[in-house]
Structure 1
C-alpha cells in the first residue's frame, strides 16, 4: 500500500512566491493610489489651491446668476475700472 500526502508541500512551494508577489504588488498599488493626486480639471496647479477669481469675474458671475441688477452691475464695473491698480 502506498502512502501519499497529496504533494501539499510541493503546491505550497510553488504557490507561496506567487502569493508574496501578489501581496507586495497590492501594497505598492495601494500606496500609489492613496498618495497620487490627480491634476485638477480647471487648469490649476497640481495639489495647489484653485486659481482665485478676479473682482470682474465675481461681478460677472453675480450678474449672470441674477444676484445683482444691471444698474448695480454697471456702477460696480465703473468703480472697478476707476480703482484698478496700475501696472508697474
Structure 2
C-alpha cells in the first residue's frame, strides 16, 4: 500500500457500503413481503393471467438485480477491508 493511504476515507467507505447492504436487504425483504401480502401465492385468486405473469417475471428480474447489487456492495466492502488491513500491515512494517 502507498504510504498516503487514507484510512479515514476507507473507514467511511466501508461504513457506507455496510449501510448500502443493509438498505438493499431491507428493500428486498420489504418488496417480498408486500408482494406476498397483496398477491398471495402464485395461484392466488387475487390476480391471474398474462398481466400477473408479466408482473411476476418483472418482479423476479428486479429482485435478482437488487440481490446482485447487494452482493457487489459486499464484495466492495470486503475489498476495502482487505486494502485497509494491507495498509495497516505496511505501516507497521515501515513500508
Query: Which interval holds the TM-score relative to the shorter structure?
Result: 0.3 to 0.5
TM-score of the two chains, using structure 2 as the length reference: 0.35
Question: Rg larger in 1 or in 2?
Answer: 1
Q: Which structure has the highest helix share of the two?
A: 2
